[in-house]
Amino acid sequence: MAEYSSTELMAVVAARTLEDRKSVFVGTGLPMIAAVFAQRTHAPRLLIVFEAGGIGPRVPVLPVSVAESKTFHQAVAASSMHEVMSLSQGGYLDYGFLGAAAIDRYGNINTTVIGDYTHPRARLPGSGGANDVGSFCWQTIVIMRQERRRFAEKIDFLTTPGYLTGPGAREAAGLPAGTGPYRVITQLGVYGFEEQSKRMQLIALHPGVTVEQVQAESEFEILVAPEVAVTVPPTAEERTLLHQIDPMGMAVGK
């Protein structure tokens, strides 16, 4: 039996996708803890940017939201939402890091409604800055729980653009060339996007997970890379650090 939880595994694997000396526009929840964890470990020069205007903070513990005062702790700039959105639009942010309620084969994200927009079965938080993040950051990383209904053949609402309908669609819609979805991290594995088709592709499985399990939890066919890696689970030291960053268990649990 694994000594780590699936949430701890997702957070650590997601953190490892963030490179040192890069910048990341961070969304609420697990993206925050993964970014802070990366900054405390292999990427000490990772520049974290929060939606409310905190640029380059050294966050002591996990903030409640992207607008809490902790997001300005030891920051290089206490700026504004307008400023950080402008940084994104100007092409200065390497990664956008988001959660999602549902996603499709091209990395399009729904965080707005489940069901019909005017009479939804569930109304979700909406975009916030996620549309801007997915539109303008160079590489978008998504962390989410994978279930068949959430890996949807067709999402109910397009909140944040992925590759839209496939190759060339982002550019045709006026979005910057070279931007788009980069990684999706779930409790089952890690996904990229196949270069030619722009479709989601399995590139790594978590320990003990099979390709069949991955496909069973998706409404659409997931492409499989020629070589599929196996992720390295979090160590005891990494798990301890996660819980030091998140002492209230808001993201990774107690």
188-216 pLDDT, tens per residue? Answer: 999 999 999 999 999 999 999 999 999 99
Using alpha carbons, select from 149, 183, 179, 150 the residue that is nearest to residue 164. Answer: 179
Contact by Cβ (8 Å): 84, 132: no
Q: Can you read off the two tokens belonging to residue 3?
A: 């000594």
Give the Cα separation of 204 and 194 in Å (integer): 14
Residues with Cβ within 8 Å of 40's Cβ and at least 6 positions away in sequence, in order, are: 241, 245
In percent, the amount of the chain with pLDDT more than 90 equals 93
Residue labelled with tokens 């798990």:
239
Q: Can you read off the two tokens belonging to residue 192?
A: 């990229």
The residue annotated as part of the active site, out of 3, 8, 19, 51, is: 51
Using alpha carbons, select from 204, 199, 153 the residue that is nearest to residue 13. Answer: 204
Give the Cα separation of 236 and 210 in Å (integer): 25
Using alpha carbons, select from 179, 178, 219, 223 the residue that is nearest to residue 200. Answer: 223
- Angle of helix 236-245 relative to helix 6-16, nearest 10 degrees, comes to 90
For each of the domains in the chain, give its residue range(s) and CATH number, in order of start: 6-185+233-245 (3.40.1080.10)
Q: Can you read off the two tokens belonging to residue 175?
A: 């979005």
Contact by Cβ (8 Å): 130, 109: yes
Bridge pairing between strands 120-123 and 113-115: antiparallel
Say how many C-beta atoms besides its own lie within 10 A of residue 250's C-beta. 18
Residue 56, pLDDT > 70, answer yes
Q: What single-letter amino acid sits at 66?
A: V
Across the range 40-51, mean pLDDT stands at: 97
Residue 238, pLDDT > 80, answer yes
134-192 pLDDT, tens per residue? Answer: 999 999 999 999 999 999 999 999 999 999 999 999 999 999 999 999 999 999 999 99
63-77 pLDDT, tens per residue? Answer: 998 889 999 999 999
**Angle CA(177)–CA(178)–CA(182) in degrees, nearest 5?**
135
Using alpha carbons, select from 132, 102, 103, 100 the residue that is nearest to residue 29. Answer: 100
Q: Can you read off the two tokens belonging to residue 87?
A: 């940084």
pLDDT of residue 254: 63
Across the range 42-46, mean pLDDT stands at: 98
Q: Is 51 designated active site?
A: yes
Using alpha carbons, select from 213, 217, 220, 218 the residue that is nearest to residue 199. Answer: 220
- Mean model confidence pLDDT for the chain: 96
